[in-house]
Amino acid sequence: MPHSKILIAYFSRRGNNYLNGRITNLAIGNTEIVAQKIQKLMGGDLFEIKPVKQYPEDYYETIEIAKEEKRKNARPELANRLEDISSYEVVFLGYPNWWGTMPMTVFTFLESYDFSGKTIAPFCTHEGSGLGSSERDIKKLCPNANVLPGLAIRGSNVNQADKDIQNWLLKLGLLT
């Protein structure tokens, strides 16, 4: 699909994170780095999915909040909105793996628009769990979208992920 209009929507959290067994402060979130790399290869519009209530910089506090949000099947309110999603044909959707799936804020995002007829290409960063159940969850939330096989990149490898990203795009036929 070389000439389709592309959106790269992603959630990513800056601040303290757990990388290779150590707490590390990230100036740019791992998923944001992958989103930027995809934009370099594909073009398209970048959109950061932001919740009204920001997550704490502290890793352990965020872990607890995210666990509770998942338990409650919460839908955190979004701080920003895309003006018009109708013109996009391909949506890259990026997120970190939080407790085995997407952050609940990404669930809110997917329920806020109509993705019928669109192609969704999920990508996630993680510390060992890969995509978890996120692809299944996206299909449930967007039953009329074409959800392509996702890409999982270990958070600690995002800066060396160019080749993996390129191969994934080629395999999906999005890059020629």
Query: Which residue ranges make up the site for ligand FMN (CB under 6 A)?
Result: 12-13, 17-18, 26, 29-32, 59, 62-63, 66, 96-100, 125-129, 155
- 């919740």: which residue's tokens? 51
Instruction: Name the closest residue to ligand FMN (Cβ).
Output: 155
Shortest distance, CB of residue 127 to ligand FMN, whole angstroms? 4
Shorter beta-carbon distance to ligand FMN: residue 5 or 14: 14
Rounded to whole angstroms, the Cα distance separating 80 from 42 reads: 24
Shorter beta-carbon distance to ligand FMN: residue 119 or 125: 125
Shortest distance, CB of residue 92 to ligand FMN, whole angstroms? 14
Structure-block tokens of residue 63: 């872990």
Shorter beta-carbon distance to ligand FMN: residue 146 or 159: 159
Residue 99's contacts (CB-CB under 8 Å, 6 or more residues apart) are 66, 67, 70
Residue 101's contacts (CB-CB under 8 Å, 6 or more residues apart) are 70, 132, 133, 134, 137
Under DSSP, the state recorded for 101 is: B
The DSSP secondary structure of 62-82, one letter per residue, reads HHHHHHHHHHTT--PPBS---
Shortest distance, CB of residue 143 to ligand FMN, whole angstroms? 25
Rounded to whole angstroms, the Cα distance separating 102 from 7 reads: 18
Shorter beta-carbon distance to ligand FMN: residue 39 or 129: 129
Shortest distance, CB of residue 156 to ligand FMN, whole angstroms? 8
Shortest distance, CB of residue 87 to ligand FMN, whole angstroms? 27
Shorter beta-carbon distance to ligand FMN: residue 97 or 108: 97
